[in-house]
Amino acid sequence: MSAGNGVLLKLDGVTKVFYTDELETHALSNINLEIRENEYLAIAGPSGCGKSTLLSILGLLDTPTEGSYTLAGRAVASLSGGQRAAVRNQQVGFIFQAFNLIGDLTVYENVELPLTYRRVPGNERRDRVCAALERVGMEHRTKHYPSQLSGGQQQRVAVARAIAGRPVILLADEPTGNLDSKNGELVMELLSELHRDGATVCVVTHDPRYAENAERTVHLFDGEIVKEENGRGARLLEEHGFSIGHK
């Protein structure tokens, strides 16, 4: 959580253009961004400003039209499709607005599924799933199905699924978008707790209240970074003797 932490993700001159028929839509323009290990970053801005596109590139769900992306010291452009999928599965934890839980799987099975794809041994899989569900306070709901849970509970299961894989970074795309204010605050506090425990967290939000939880907020407008500022998370760290020094 100090300035000495190494750069985990780095974007240099990233531009994203979507082509439809004869129309060009410039979603991102010349994005230069670094995210350090154990940092809590918020990406803020109005709807349609490019926040989700940026998160998709960071999560290897999409590729830039121009520019370079380095993740944990590896140039993403040099990876094959299979290598990208492996990095995405093993190093990135996703938390989506729509939860994306599988309806005919139990809570336990939803959290376990990505570990099964990674061929994590059964005993280790069980330990990770139980630990993740306990971490988010959902260990008593292992046999329930998503339809039997509230929205806030479903999002907690989605967080458990993400952290069970022990990713190098958690990417959350409007994780409170389908929640009421109380459950939204609980989920954002959970992300803050995970960050305090050492996780690197990047959250996309249009809500300034939630962006304030982060150490640093990057503001997007029309696909460009227009401002960066330290948030309450940075001030709290500085009060406890950590130094914050971002580029």
pLDDT of residue 2: 37
Q: What is the mean pLDDT of each run of 10 residues along the chain (247 residues)?
A: 69 94 90 95 92 94 95 91 89 91 97 93 96 94 96 95 93 92 90 91 90 92 93 52 44
- What average pLDDT is seen over the chain? 89
pLDDT of residue 157: 96
Q: Which CATH superfamily is domain 38-65+80-239 in?
A: P-loop containing nucleotide triphosphate hydrolases (3.40.50.300)
How many beta carbons lie within 10 A of that of residue 45, not counting itself?
Answer: 24
Cβ neighbors of 161 (< 8 A, separation 6 or more) are: 93, 101, 110, 111, 113, 114, 132
**pLDDT tens readout for residues 89-118:** 889 999 998 999 999 999 999 999 999 988
Task: Tell me how far apart the alpha carbons of residues 148 and 111 are, in angstroms, rounded to a whole number.
Answer: 16
How many beta carbons lie within 10 A of that of residue 23, not counting itself?
Answer: 7
